[in-house]
């Protein structure tokens, strides 16, 4: 019997989605270790046992200065080399909401261990305020091949700084051609918004309605929405009107597939299972 792959969930002052993130990972088949960032900074070798490192949502350090900035700074200062090595060895890194902001700030999503060179930013929502509501996402055909492309699913967002902003248009073209756009905000029927309904479909006003990105390996993934808040049948805001046959929320599938992919990646790394690609 294969043991469950280990997910290290990193918390620090202000992390606050750790409960639902641990719950989702456990239901998705992972073994979960909730660890304070400072313990990980002290002992980066703890990553060796893990298949996944997850930065959950919240307001790390109060989002003082900017969302995810301080935690991004701390990770970049002390943990970035170990994380790069971890990913190079097949490990998965997931950042959700504030975790996405942290990944962007560190430069990890762009393969950059230093500040100042980034081309991707998460800016204040176009309405200029925090917003909590449900949206629909589509899995794009991306380097995250473990996500079935074309599937549309509901999920909540809750953030004030989630608007994907790029240095220039060339960056967007490169993200597209490198298949690094993992998720987009779409209408419930899966079609793209037009300028008329853009803010209803994509409330933060993200460029090209981007909701999630990955790095060139496809193993560092960041997204603003919270799949872990749609894992029970009762999380959906309209469950009282939906059919009684739903046994789980649509966000659980995201975690389940990632856990499987991460565990296969780790197994491949250790040479136990031949590569299937």
Does 214 participate in catalysis according to the annotation?
no
Told to check if 111 binds other proteins by CB under 8 A, we report no
Q: Which of 63, 57, 4 has the alpha carbon at shortest distance from 30?
A: 4
Q: What is the C-alpha separation between 270 and 258, in angstroms, rounded? A: 18
Catalytic residue at 97? yes
Q: Does 274 bind other proteins (CB under 8 A)?
A: no
Query: Which phi and psi (to 5°) does residue 93 adopt?
Result: -125, 125
> Please, which residue, 243 or 275, has the CB nearer to other proteins?
243
Interaction between residue 121 and other proteins (CB under 8 A)? yes
| Catalytic member of 97, 144, 202, 214 | 97
Window 72 to 101, contacts with other proteins (CB under 8 A): 73-74, 76-77
Cβ-based nearer residue to other proteins, 3 or 238:
238
Question: How many chain residues touch other proteins (CB under 8 A)?
Answer: 64
With a CB cutoff of 8 Å and minimum separation 6, the contacts of 235 are 229, 249, 251
Contact code string over 35-54 relative to other proteins, x by CB under 8 A:
-x-xx---------------
Pair of tokens at residue 65: 């200065």
127 binds other proteins (CB under 8 A): yes
Sheet of strand 31-36, all strands in order from the earlier edge strand to the far edge: 31-36, 6-11, 52-55, 92-96, 220-223, 210-214, 181-186, 131-139, 152-159
Closer Cβ to other proteins, 61 or 146, answer by number: 61
Q: How far is residue 262's CA from residue 29's CA, in Å, rounded to a whole number? A: 11
Can you say whether residue 92 is alpha, beta or left, with left for phi > 0 and alpha for psi between -120 and 50 degrees?
beta
| 173 has catalytic annotation | no
Under 8 Å between Cβ of 123 and 165: yes
Please pick, from the candidates 8, 28, 50, 59, the single residue that binds other proteins as defined by CB under 8 A. 59
Q: Which residues are catalytic?
A: 97, 226, 228
- Contacts to other proteins by CB under 8 A: 11, 13-17, 19-20, 23-24, 36, 38-39, 57-59, 61-66, 69-70, 73-74, 76-77, 115-121, 123-134, 156, 158, 165-167, 226, 228-229, 231-235, 237-238, 240-241
């Amino acid at each position: 019997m294969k043991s469950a792959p280990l997910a290290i969930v990193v918390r620090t002052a202000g992390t606050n989605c750790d409960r639902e993130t641990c719950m989702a990972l456990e239901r998705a088949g992972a073994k979960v270790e909730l660890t304070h960032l400072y313990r990980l900074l002290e002992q980066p070798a703890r990553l060796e046992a893990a298949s996944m490192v997850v930065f959950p949502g919240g307001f790390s350090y109060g989002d003082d200065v900017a969302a995810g900035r301080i935690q991004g700074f701390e990770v970049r200062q002390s943990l970035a080399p170990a994380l790069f090595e971890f990913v190079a060895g097949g490990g998965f890194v997931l950042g959700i909401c504030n975790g996405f902001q942290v990944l962007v700030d560190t430069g990890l999503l762009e393969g950059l261990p230093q500040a100042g060179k980034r081309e991707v930013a998460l800016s204040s929502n176009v309405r200029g305020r925090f917003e909590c509501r449900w949206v629909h996402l589509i899995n794009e055909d991306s380097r995250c091949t473990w996500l079935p492309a074309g599937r549309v699913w509901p999920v909540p967002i809750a953030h004030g700084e989630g608007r994907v902003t790029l240095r220039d248009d060339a960056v967007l073209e490169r993200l597209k051609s490198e298949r690094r756009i993992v998720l987009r905000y779409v209408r419930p029927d899966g079609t793209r918004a037009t300028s008329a309904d853009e803010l209803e479909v994509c409330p933060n006003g993200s460029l090209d309605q981007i909701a999630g990105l990955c790095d060139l390996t496809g193993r560092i993934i960041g997204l603003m929405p919270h799949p872990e808040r749609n894992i029970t049948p009762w999380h959906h805001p309209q469950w009282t009107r939906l059919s009684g046959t739903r046994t789980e929320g649509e966000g659980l599938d995201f975690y389940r597939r990632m856990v499987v992919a991460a565990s296969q990646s780790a197994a491949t790394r250790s040479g136990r299972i031949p590569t299937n690609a």
